[in-house]
Chains A and B, each alone.
Chain A
Amino acid sequence: MTPIVAVEGLGKTFHDKSRGHVQAVRDLSFEARDGEIFGLLGPNGAGKTTTLRMLATILSPTTGSATIAGHDLLRDPTEIRRSIGYLSSDTGLYGRLTSREVLRFFARLSHYPAERIRERIETLVERFGMAEFADVRCDRLSTGMRQKVSIARAVIHDPPVLILDEPTAGLDIIVGESLLRFIEEIRAQGKCILFSTHVMREAERLCDRIGIIHEGRLLAVGTLAELQERSGKRYLEEIFVHLVEGGDGEPI
């Protein structure tokens, strides 16, 4: 089976006033399949956000490319955007619009069939228990409510691939937990989820395969079991430190 996400030699160089050329991401390659949660694990500033933004076509790569759902990242960015739902910890909502208005706007902008939009919105409103506040302006919602609207927004057009950049950052335990459950639920529907986090426990619990990223480089890729076996360590924290300190860095 061809992987739905295939990343090949992806790299990104920024120019920074104080630091000059900064290689945020270097020569990144990995694959992810339907029904799989692929986790990018690394500390802040490791290049996770840059990688996911490139895959969401918000940034253009300096080197390399990728295909998502059979579309080439460089040649066909519009088709890629149709195939993905993107959510990051700081993607916001329109404060002066209600949840239903936000969902309708993004459904139409994502070219979701017009006759099915109403039904799709109601399904999501029910799934996330948003009925009570679906017609309240977003700037009057609590953080938890807003996060529900955000995730509903990201999946409104029912994309085969979800790109989630540290989605649990800044959430309390209850909201974070319900989000993780939802991610597991979508995996069960056969979708592919690219997921970044710096929380090792989240990665351990959720990810089918994990890519460990540090200073823009992918140090290792594999299932938790594979990583444990390869490094001889038990916990992800230990595996991470082992890799960073120059242990066996060959991608698995």
Chain B
Amino acid sequence: MANPSEIGLVYRRELLDAFRDRRTLYAMVLLPILTYPLLVAGSGHLWARQEKRLQSQFLRIGVEGDPTPLARVAGRDTLLRFANVTEDAVTGGSADVWVSLPAGLLTGADSATVRIVYDGTSERSTLARERVEGLLDTLRAELLAERAEATGLDVEPAALLSCDERNVATSQRMTGARLGKIVPFLLIIFLFSSGSYAALDAFAGERERGTLETLLSTPAARESLVAGKFLAVLSINLGAALLNLLSLVATLTVFPFAGSFGDQMRPALAGGAFPLLLLLSVPLAVLATAILIVVASSAKNFREGQYLTFPILMACLVPAMAGNFPGIEDVWAVYLVPIANVSVVARQILLGELVPWRIIAALLVTSLVALVAVSRAARVLSTERALGRGSTDSPLAAESAGRVRAALFFVAVDFLLFFHVGSLLQARALYPGLVMSLFLLLLFPALLFLKILGLPIARTTRLAAPGLGALLGSVLLAPALSLLAEGSFQVVSSVLPVPEAFLEFFEALMNKDRHGALATYLVLAVSPGICEEFVFRGVVYGILSRAWGARRAVVVSAALFAAFHLSVYRFVPVFLVGLTLGALVWRTGSLVPAMLLHATYNALNVAMAREELVALGTAPRIMVAVALAAVGVVLLVRARERNRTQR
């Protein structure tokens, strides 16, 4: 069992070693500290370039009243577009700036007040405001000249045309928007990268030097060794995050270059921003540490470890940038996506928008995922693979590897068949075409494939009768699965805007007026449940799992399943559904529950699209789905236990 004094010993040794390593000092101390001063010093130049770029784009100027006088002074400036809209257009995003020209302005009233509305968080809007002010100055000068000519008197230009400007953004929003673009991103990147050298050194490095063998032959408990190393890497990750945030504060308050930039930015850090960002960093640092350790311990040496950790950092980049995707904060599901939720919530904290449930959701989800990762990391030294030898392949490896190649080849060929012939069939008649595609182009070739390979159909695909509990349990998962798919689709579509045609296709597919209920459910729910499951969970997972083990087979079969749907927008949702179905076959040992869940899940989605189901709000829907899924999981676990004891 883990022993505190052993953990402390290992922890101190790891840190001592890390701090004598220039790479760790660079990644944990120098880089996080220097980033902000360098950014601030360099950003003046960058912003100037950005402004130049904006100047060469169209600026949309909303006008209340007649835009002609402004358009006239704008003359041949073709980069300005005038439109007659209300002032909401600025908040709505359809105009960069809005200006009200009072009717009396041109008819010769003595004075007039022009109102300007803009969004200070947007560089385009600020730039548009400056242009409008320029135009108003010209207009003012013209009017002045006209009046002077008419009356022979000098008129104070400001008295003639005064301006009343309104910025729709508060000052905290303005500075928060600027900081929000960069601070969460850097924080997440440092959390995931700073400890990577230390993690690699603590596992892959120890193995390479032969010290791991020495360490494992000491009386210290394996758990103590892992815990000490874990805490050391965690300290480095968290230390980097803390130094990074402190550097931000210090740069904005005492850094000589900061100047007015610092003055502008400081309000975003007022209040609880600093402690809240730090609080969010803790579970994320734990998650990052656990992931780094699992990866580092699987590498044979330091170099291989570097190859393995690089993709992790790459994979973090997209969710780390999530906060910068416009409109993503309104998608509830994003708060359930690890890393992305911290990115979005951190940006909101800097904007001064504190929505408790979002912060709590981000903390809970990250902690939960971190817990799973930690429990995996805790075991890295308990297996003999810690020493980097042995694998779990059976003597039948060559034969099953051949079958894997054949199965992957089959999927590739069938993919071409399904899409080229299938789309022809569906173009002729949608529903009959779909049914024919599923049965003749998917199920039938799969049966043929098994026949050619001489594999027994029922045994290979696990087409066996499951218990009643497993069947009932799998059906109960459907609402949660539907929610999972919908949520992930929303997240994806907030990043990749979904084209209208895509949605129209589904609208047509499920249209209540065109297709009767029985036909719809048979074609869209029952048939895919049978055919797609037979191919992806039956044949593909069946063959892959025997060669690679269940976990890898679940992931790869789900990825193939998602790719088969040939849609960027649906890849993630379908992948998640595929993972669930694959896991179901793995845990129940039968294909039938997956078929049933697939059909139920499709039927549920069809019913919601056809409005044949009582519509629930998001919150009650989540509660119902979670409750049913909980019962379903309990039933499935009990069915599994009964299955075990019977064997």
Residues on A close to B: CB < 8 A?
14-17, 20-21, 53, 56-60, 78-79, 81-82, 84, 86, 88, 90-97, 101, 105-106, 108-111, 137, 153, 163
* Further 17 A-B residue pairs, CB within 8 A, beyond A94-B211, A97-B20: A17-B393, A17-B397, A59-B387, A84-B217, A86-B214, A90-B213, A91-B210, A91-B211, A92-B210, A94-B13, A95-B209, A96-B17, A96-B20, A97-B13, A97-B17, A106-B214, A109-B218
B393, closest chain A residue (CB): A17
Of A20, A59, A153, which is within 8 A of B395 by CB? A20
Q: In chain B between 212 and 257, which residues have their CB closer than 8 angstroms to a CB of chain A? A: 213-221
> How distant is B586 from chain A, measured CB to nearest CB, in Å?
21
- 20 pairs from A and B in contact (CB 8 Å cutoff): A14-B389, A15-B390, A15-B391, A15-B394, A20-B394, A53-B213, A58-B213, A90-B210, A92-B209, A92-B211, A93-B211, A94-B17, A94-B211, A97-B13, A97-B16, A105-B9, A106-B218, A109-B6, A110-B218, A110-B219
Sorted nearest first, the 10 A-B pairs with minimum C-beta distance are: A20-B395, A92-B210, A92-B209, A86-B217, A96-B20, A81-B219, A90-B210, A82-B219, A56-B217, A109-B218
CB atoms of B9 and A109 under 8 A apart? yes
Q: In chain B between 189 and 214, which residues have their CB closer than 8 angstroms to a CB of chain A? A: 209-211, 213-214
> How distant is A98 from chain B, measured CB to nearest CB, in Å?
10
Residues on B close to A: CB < 8 A?
5-6, 9-10, 13, 16-17, 20-21, 209-211, 213-221, 384, 387, 389-395, 397
CB atoms of A109 and B20 under 8 A apart? no
CB atoms of A78 and B217 under 8 A apart? no
CB atoms of A88 and B210 under 8 A apart? yes
CB atoms of A111 and B391 under 8 A apart? no
> How distant is B297 from chain A, measured CB to nearest CB, in Å?
15
CB atoms of A81 and B393 under 8 A apart? no
- How far is it, in angstroms, between the C-alpha of A203 and the C-alpha of B397 when the chains are bound? 40
- How far is it, in angstroms, between the C-alpha of A21 and the C-alpha of B397 when the chains are bound? 11
Query: Which residues of chain A are near B17, meaning CB under 8 Å?
Result: 94, 96-97
Query: Which residues of chain B are near A60, meaning CB under 8 Å?
Result: 384
- How far is it, in angstroms, between the C-alpha of A94 and the C-alpha of B397 when the chains are bound? 39
A80, closest chain B residue (CB): B219
Most buried by A among B5, B213, B217: B217
Most buried by A among B219, B220, B389: B219
Query: Which residues of chain A are near B6, meaning CB under 8 Å?
Result: 109
Task: Classify the secondary structure of A's interface with B.
Answer: mixed
- How far is it, in angstroms, between the C-alpha of A59 and the C-alpha of B394 when the chains are bound? 20
B214, closest chain A residue (CB): A91
CB atoms of A57 and B21 under 8 A apart? no
Query: Which residues of chain B are near A105, meaning CB under 8 Å?
Result: 9, 13
> How distant is B391 from chain A, measured CB to nearest CB, in Å?
5
Query: Which residues of chain A are near B390, meaning CB under 8 Å?
Result: 14-16
Query: Which residues of chain B are near A81, meaning CB under 8 Å?
Result: 217-219
Query: Which residues of chain B are near A96, meaning CB under 8 Å?
Result: 16-17, 20-21
> How distant is B240 from chain A, measured CB to nearest CB, in Å?
20
- How far is it, in angstroms, between the C-alpha of A116 and the C-alpha of B209 when the chains are bound? 29
- How far is it, in angstroms, between the C-alpha of A153 and the C-alpha of B215 when the chains are bound? 11
A108, closest chain B residue (CB): B9
- How far is it, in angstroms, between the C-alpha of A96 and the C-alpha of B211 when the chains are bound? 12
- How far is it, in angstroms, between the C-alpha of A153 and the C-alpha of B210 when the chains are bound? 13
- How far is it, in angstroms, between the C-alpha of A90 and the C-alpha of B387 when the chains are bound? 12
CB atoms of B217 and A109 under 8 A apart? no
A163, closest chain B residue (CB): B217
- How far is it, in angstroms, between the C-alpha of A93 and the C-alpha of B508 when the chains are bound? 69
- How far is it, in angstroms, between the C-alpha of A15 and the C-alpha of B393 when the chains are bound? 6
Given A15-B393, A16-B390, CB of A153 within 8 Å of CB of B16? no
Query: Which residues of chain B are near A109, meaning CB under 8 Å?
Result: 6, 9-10, 215, 218-220
- How far is it, in angstroms, between the C-alpha of A30 and the C-alpha of B390 when the chains are bound? 26
Query: Which residues of chain B are near A94, meaning CB under 8 Å?
Result: 13, 17, 209, 211
- How far is it, in angstroms, between the C-alpha of A74 and the C-alpha of B635 when the chains are bound? 38
> How distant is A24 from chain B, measured CB to nearest CB, in Å?
10
Query: Which residues of chain B are near A59, meaning CB under 8 Å?
Result: 384, 387
- How far is it, in angstroms, between the C-alpha of A91 and the C-alpha of B210 when the chains are bound? 4
> How distant is A226 from chain B, measured CB to nearest CB, in Å?
31
Of A14, A20, A92, A93, which is within 8 A of B397 by CB? A20
B215, closest chain A residue (CB): A109
A57, closest chain B residue (CB): B217
Given A59-B384, A153-B214, CB of A78 within 8 Å of CB of B221? yes
- How far is it, in angstroms, between the C-alpha of A95 and the C-alpha of B211 when the chains are bound? 10
> How distant is A14 from chain B, measured CB to nearest CB, in Å?
5
> How distant is B152 from chain A, measured CB to nearest CB, in Å?
89
Query: Which residues of chain A are near B20, meaning CB under 8 Å?
Result: 96-97, 137
B10, closest chain A residue (CB): A109
- How far is it, in angstroms, between the C-alpha of A14 and the C-alpha of B387 when the chains are bound? 13
Given A21-B395, A59-B384, A96-B17, CB of A111 within 8 Å of CB of B219? yes
- How far is it, in angstroms, between the C-alpha of A16 and the C-alpha of B393 when the chains are bound? 7
Given A78-B221, A96-B21, CB of A15 within 8 Å of CB of B210? no
- How far is it, in angstroms, between the C-alpha of A93 and the C-alpha of B213 when the chains are bound? 11
Query: Which residues of chain A are near B387, meaning CB under 8 Å?
Result: 58-59
Query: Which residues of chain B are near A57, meaning CB under 8 Å?
Result: 216-217
- How far is it, in angstroms, between the C-alpha of A92 and the C-alpha of B205 when the chains are bound? 11
> How distant is A149 from chain B, measured CB to nearest CB, in Å?
11
B17, closest chain A residue (CB): A96
- How far is it, in angstroms, between the C-alpha of A57 and the C-alpha of B253 when the chains are bound? 57
- How far is it, in angstroms, between the C-alpha of A203 and the C-alpha of B192 when the chains are bound? 52
Query: Which residues of chain A are near B397, meaning CB under 8 Å?
Result: 17, 20
- How far is it, in angstroms, between the C-alpha of A76 and the C-alpha of B190 when the chains are bound? 42
- How far is it, in angstroms, between the C-alpha of A105 and the C-alpha of B21 when the chains are bound? 18
Query: Which residues of chain B are near A92, meaning CB under 8 Å?
Result: 209-211, 214
CB atoms of B9 and A58 under 8 A apart? no
> How distant is A121 from chain B, measured CB to nearest CB, in Å?
15
CB atoms of A78 and B219 under 8 A apart? yes
- How far is it, in angstroms, between the C-alpha of A24 and the C-alpha of B214 when the chains are bound? 22
A81, closest chain B residue (CB): B219
- How far is it, in angstroms, between the C-alpha of A15 and the C-alpha of B389 when the chains are bound? 9
Most buried by A among B5, B213, B397: B213
- How far is it, in angstroms, between the C-alpha of A21 and the C-alpha of B396 when the chains are bound? 10
> How distant is A20 from chain B, measured CB to nearest CB, in Å?
3
> How distant is B514 from chain A, measured CB to nearest CB, in Å?
55
- How far is it, in angstroms, between the C-alpha of A104 and the C-alpha of B196 when the chains are bound? 27
> How distant is B334 from chain A, measured CB to nearest CB, in Å?
41
Query: Which residues of chain B are near A101, meaning CB under 8 Å?
Result: 16
Query: Which residues of chain B are near A97, meaning CB under 8 Å?
Result: 13, 16-17, 20
Query: Which residues of chain B are near A53, meaning CB under 8 Å?
Result: 213
Query: Which residues of chain A are near B9, meaning CB under 8 Å?
Result: 105, 108-109
A13, closest chain B residue (CB): B390
Query: Which residues of chain B are near A95, meaning CB under 8 Å?
Result: 209
- How far is it, in angstroms, between the C-alpha of A99 and the C-alpha of B432 when the chains are bound? 79
- How far is it, in angstroms, between the C-alpha of A139 and the C-alpha of B408 when the chains are bound? 49
> How distant is A25 from chain B, measured CB to nearest CB, in Å?
13
> How distant is A41 from chain B, measured CB to nearest CB, in Å?
22
Most buried by B among A58, A82, A97, A137: A58
Query: Which residues of chain A are near B391, meaning CB under 8 Å?
Result: 15-17
Query: Which residues of chain B are near A90, meaning CB under 8 Å?
Result: 210, 213
B208, closest chain A residue (CB): A92
- How far is it, in angstroms, between the C-alpha of A237 and the C-alpha of B202 when the chains are bound? 42
> How distant is A61 from chain B, measured CB to nearest CB, in Å?
11
CB atoms of B384 and A15 under 8 A apart? no
Query: Which residues of chain B are near A16, meaning CB under 8 Å?
Result: 390-391, 393
B19, closest chain A residue (CB): A96
- How far is it, in angstroms, between the C-alpha of A79 and the C-alpha of B221 when the chains are bound? 11
Query: Which residues of chain B are near A137, meaning CB under 8 Å?
Result: 20
- How far is it, in angstroms, between the C-alpha of A58 and the C-alpha of B215 when the chains are bound? 10
- How far is it, in angstroms, between the C-alpha of A91 and the C-alpha of B216 when the chains are bound? 11
Query: Which residues of chain A are near B384, meaning CB under 8 Å?
Result: 58-60
- How far is it, in angstroms, between the C-alpha of A94 and the C-alpha of B208 when the chains are bound? 11
Query: Which residues of chain A are near B393, meaning CB under 8 Å?
Result: 15-17, 20
